[in-house]
């Protein structure tokens, strides 16, 4: 039986790119769920003639992690079999969705992470590639003891519905990447990385964002 | 002596204000009780400061009683700050849960039948 594939695209003020992203993604998934995280720009208006997607809107801004969690929860309630997380800023290539979901469809993995560092050439800014990302890997290793992923901060991922049910994203902001990683390893899910391409139009997460992630992870650990 | 009297007058003012706030229903009974105990302990510390000095010296501290109380106060403040931060984080997560449910219940669905459905 064909699996129902949902793609969750969180969006905050990505009115200039979201339409193109949705248009590209629709060829590779069954349902698209855009979660507008209380954008100031009219993200929903830009998508108003796209009669094949669902747009959920947060009435107040909660963060990318929260938006992904909302979309994932919606997908679970709608009977999704595979859930893809995809950025709305045009950083990823939609045609690589089939590469990311393939191991799940074949029963080889429960969760698949796209990696910007495997094989494919990604245009990652020097400072991000050589300073921020190595530091992120160190933090992931220190906090979670995970050191065998090449791209722990990748936002391009797919997971089976069973995995999505157990990995409950609680980090609202940018620490959700690390949280998903940690819960995937802790839950002993079958994890796989596949090469994906990243196209940078802007810098992405800054150094100060990394410090915020550390703070969020510490608070999260204390609460739990 | 003068400083002690002045401090006790200030504490009396805060206690009076506390009861006024309770009367106006700005605070609940538990809040009143908490701050009342706090101010009573503060007043006792001021009244018995010399005894506290003796106690602190006998325990081997080089500072005076008031200095030790001050350091203790800072430690307690940091502890409460820590607790408040955790509580704030928990509240943020609860807000997210509410926002999530609202967004899912109110979702605008664009489907192939054309047009935009009204919010559910």
Mutate which: B98, B99, B102, vs A, most A CBs within 10 A: B99
> What mean pLDDT value characterizes chain B?
86
Write down the ipTM of this complex: 0.81
Subunit contact A51:B86, Cβ cutoff 8 A: no
A window 156-185, beta carbon within 8 A of B: 170, 172
For residues B98 and B86, what is the distance between their CA atoms, to the nearest angstrom?
19
User: In this complex, which of A58, A170, A222 lies closest to B93 when CB atoms are compared?
Assistant: A170
Q: What is the mean pLDDT of chain A?
A: 87
> CA–CA separation, A157 vs A112, rounded Å?
6
Tally Cβ neighbours within 10 Å of residue B37.
10
- B36-68 confidence digits (pLDDT tens): 999 999 999 999 988 888 888 888 888 888 888
C-alpha triplet B100, A162, A91: angle, nearest 5°: 60
Q: What is the pTM of this model?
A: 0.77
Q: How far away is chain B from the Cα of A126, in angstroms, using its nearest Cα?
A: 34
Q: At residue B120, does pLDDT exceed 60? A: no
CA distances from B120 to A6, A153, A194, B71, B95 (A): 21, 36, 39, 57, 21
Given an 8 Å threshold on Cβ–Cβ distance, is B111 in contact with A51?
yes
Cα dist. A34→A22, A70, A74, A168, B90 in Å? 9, 10, 11, 19, 26
Indicate the burial class of A111 (C-beta count within 10 angstroms; 0-12, 13-18, 19 or more).
Answer: buried
Q: Span A149-173, mean pLDDT?
A: 91
Indicate yes or no: CB of A172 within 8 angstroms of CB of B93. yes
**Residue A3 C-alpha, separation from nearest chain B C-alpha, in angstroms:** 20
- Tokens standing for B48? 């018995």
Length of chain A: 224
Q: Which of A49, A54, A51 is nearest to A11 (CA)?
A: A54
Find out whether A96 and A154 touch, Cβ atoms under 8 Å: no
Q: Residue B18 CB: number of other CB atoms within 10 A?
A: 19
Is the CB of B119 inside 8 Å of chain A's CB atoms? no
Interface residue A2 vs chain B (CB under 8 A): no
- Note the residue count of chain B: 120
Find the CB nearest A60 among B99, B106, B107.
B99
Q: Chain A: give the shortest CA distance to residue B71, in Å.
A: 25
- How large is the average pLDDT for residues A26-44? 95
Mean pLDDT in residue range A11-23: 94
Residue B3 vs residue A58, higher pLDDT: A58
Model pLDDT for residues A44-83, shown as the tens digit of each residue: 899 989 988 999 999 999 999 999 999 999 999 999 999 9
In sequence order, what are the beta bridge partners of A191? A111
Distance from the A23 Cα atom to the nearest Cα atom in chain B, whole angstroms? 14
- Name the residue with tokens 């722990």: A152
Is a pLDDT exceeding 70 seen at residue B110?
Answer: no
The answer to whether the beta carbons of residues A15 and A21 sit under 8 Å apart is: no
Q: How much of chain A, in percent, has pLDDT values that exceed 90?
A: 60
At A208, the pLDDT band (50, 70, 90 cuts) reads low
Q: Two tokens at A70?
A: 């909302």
């Amino acid at each position: 039986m064909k699996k129902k594939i949902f793609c969750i695209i969180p969006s905050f003020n990505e009115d200039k790119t979201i339409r193109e992203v949705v248009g590209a993604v629709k060829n590779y998934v069954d349902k698209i769920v855009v979660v507008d995280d209380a954008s100031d720009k009219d993200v929903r208006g830009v998508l108003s003639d796209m009669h094949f997607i669902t747009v959920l809107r947060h009435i107040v801004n909660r963060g990318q992690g929260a938006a992904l969690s909302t979309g994932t929860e919606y997908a679970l309630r709608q009977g999704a079999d595979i859930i893809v997380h995809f950025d709305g800023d045009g950083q990823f290539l939609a045609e690589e969705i089939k590469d990311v979901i393939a191991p799940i469809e074949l029963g080889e993995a429960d969760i698949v992470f796209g990696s910007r560092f495997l094989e494919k050439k990604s245009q990652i800014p020097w400072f991000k590639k050589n300073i921020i990302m190595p530091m992120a890997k160190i933090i992931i290793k220190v906090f979670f003891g995970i050191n065998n992923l090449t791209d722990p901060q990748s936002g391009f991922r797919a997971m089976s519905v069973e995995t999505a049910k157990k990995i409950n994203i609680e980090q609202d902001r940018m620490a959700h990447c690390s949280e998903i990683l940690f819960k995937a390893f802790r839950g002993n899910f079958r994890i796989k990385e596949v090469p994906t391409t990243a196209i940078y139009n802007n810098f992405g997460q800054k150094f100060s964002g990394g410090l915020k992630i550390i703070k969020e992870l510490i608070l999260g650990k204390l609460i739990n | 002596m003068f400083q002690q009297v002045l401090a006790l007058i200030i504490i009396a003012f805060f206690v009076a204000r506390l009861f006024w706030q309770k009367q106006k229903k700005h605070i609940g009974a538990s809040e009143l009780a908490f701050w009342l105990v706090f101010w009573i302990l503060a007043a006792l510390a001021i009244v018995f400061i010399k005894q506290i000095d003796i106690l602190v010296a006998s325990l081997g501290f080089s500072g005076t009683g008031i200095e030790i109380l001050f350091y203790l106060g800072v430690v307690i403040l940091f502890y409460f700050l820590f607790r408040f931060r955790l509580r704030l984080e928990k509240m943020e997560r609860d807000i997210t849960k509410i926002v999530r449910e609202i967004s899912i219940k109110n979702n605008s669905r664009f489907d192939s039948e054309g047009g935009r459905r009204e919010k559910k």
